[in-house]
Structure 1
Amino acid sequence: MSSVCLQLYYQPKIDVFANEIVGYEILLRNKDHLPYYPAAKMEKIYHNREKHSHFLVWLKKELTRVLQEYPSNSLSVNFSPRQLLYPETKQFFSEMRKFCDQLIVEITEDPILLDITEEISGKTIEESVISALAFIKNQGYEIALDDVGTGQNSFERALEYVPYLSQIKFSIVKCLKYNASLEMIAYFLKAWHQFARENHLDIVIEGIEDQEMSMKLADNGMLLQQGYYFGKPASEKNLQSS
């Protein structure tokens, strides 16, 4: 699949105390009548260096245009650990460095890394990922760890990545998907909130679907929120200047 078949969608992140949009998460969508994330096709891109290189060229062009048009907006862009292994990814962040104050790099899950044991330039896979995170941070970008506590972004991984992080994201929807009770989710939230405080990180709670949930989180000091209650992923025409 050519990357030109993709488009960028945006979902707002809200500071509920200030009642304002503090940024947007960028989400990839195809160009179907009802756009969705083409997971299987993107996996083929992420696992093929040449295709991934072409994808980065497209992404750089699209991001540059949007960042120039909305210079006061903060945008979060998702990268999997797998993508961090390609030298073209470092080149991408070097070339986008002039926008580092506007871009947050969200590190998503990549379970395939569990099955890889080979070395890259004398380093293990995890060492190579850590090296890439250090490079991105040194370029001036903020880094967030997405979906902590579910899937592969475990407590152990969060501890390993924490020197490079400025933010963690906790997804209520992901927990519900695994049939976690609301009481159990509350315990997890409390623990991750404490983790964020002790490590001087922001925490964004994703999957907010109603006012009651939003207010309860705010009452417990979790003010950065994201979810359908505030806005579904939408095209660029819905972007607001901060």
Structure 2
Amino acid sequence: MYRFFVQPQVDQRQKSIFGYELLLRKESHGHWAVPEKFTELPLDKQAHLLEELATQLATKATNQVLALNLNREQAEDDLMIGTIIYLKKRLNPAALTIELTESATLAEIQKYSMLFHQYGIKLSIDDVGTGSNTYDNIKNALPFVDQIKFAMQNLRMSGKANQIPTALAFWNTIAQEHHLDLILEGVEDEQDQQMAQQLGIDLHQGYYYGKPQLAVKHARSLACRASEDR
């Protein structure tokens, strides 16, 4: 069985959740784990799961963003573009962002940008500065996307945590020059939050705001908070 777990994306300045990253998980022997390959579940079936999730989170009513990851193999699927556009129509008026986890060619980015933007779908480049999404690989694609994401956890896991402040400042400058939203991932504590605030980065994601969990559990926790605030 497959389900999407959700992790909130927070506008720290507004003190509000503006969206959710969707993280595919597979249940095996009573435990949820990351699938060995994200293509185990065809994209059209992932789209169906996403529709169910949108209902649970009531994103259609709140216009919150659902952010779906797309890897290289999925992006090369001939049916991908049609599936994503059909999904957006079904999700209206909820917003949809496609996060590219691996660098695509400039021609591919241009094609995605032209087609997706016609339907109000935003494009994001994930994990900038690590893996294949280095500046040299993506610099020419930046005019065609809406957002970049900087993942502090990637540098921490590779033993390069000391490089985070300099790298984050660099990507913050790039985002400003290209008029892109920058989401800071891996915010784990107040120190991370303060570093972001000093740079004027308001869009955050990380364990400090919530770990990935099943959408139904997240919806229940929000309902409990709302009742406590009354």
Q: TM-score, normalised by structure 2?
A: 0.84
The aligned counterpart of 1:160 is 140
2:186 maps to which of 207, 212, 217: 207
CA distance in 1, matches of 2:140, 2:74: 18
Superposed counterparts of 1:85-234, under 5 Å: 85-98=76-89, 99=91, 101-109=94-102, 127-182=107-162, 184-234=163-213
1:153 partner SS: coil
Q: Shift in Å at residue 135 of structure 1?
A: 2.0
CA distance in 2, matches of 1:202, 1:91: 26
Q: Shift in Å at residue 233 of structure 1?
A: 0.2
What is the CA deviation profile of residues 5-62 of structure 1, one whole-angstrom value per residue up to 9, with x for unaligned ones?
A: 2111000011111111111100000113331211x233xx3xxxxx66xx12211212
Percent of aligned pairs sharing the same letter: 26
Q: Shift in Å at residue 152 of structure 1?
A: 0.3
**Which is strand-richer, 1 or 2?**
2
CA distance in 2, matches of 1:68, 1:233: 18
Aligned pairs, number: 213
Q: TM-score, normalised by structure 1?
A: 0.80
What is the CA deviation profile of residues 150-188 of structure 1, one whole-angstrom value per residue up to 9, with x for unaligned ones?
A: 000110233122122111000111011221142x21111
1:134 partner SS: helix
CA distance in 1, matches of 2:185, 2:22: 14
1:20 counterpart = 2:11: no
4+ aligned runs moved over 3 Å, structure 1: none
CA distance in 1, matches of 2:106, 2:18: 32
1:173 partner SS: helix
1:63 counterpart = 2:50: yes
What is the CA deviation profile of residues 190-231 of structure 1, one whole-angstrom value per residue up to 9, with x for unaligned ones?
A: 010000001000101101111121122112211111111110
Cα RMSD over matched residues? 2.1
CA distance in 2, matches of 1:81, 1:134: 19
In the alignment, is the contact (CA less than 8 A) between 2:125 and 2:149 conserved in 1? Answer: yes
CA distance in 1, matches of 2:111, 2:12: 35
Structure 1 pair 75–22 and aligned structure 2 pair: CA distance change class (3 A): same
The residue identity in structure 2 corresponding to 1:103 is: L
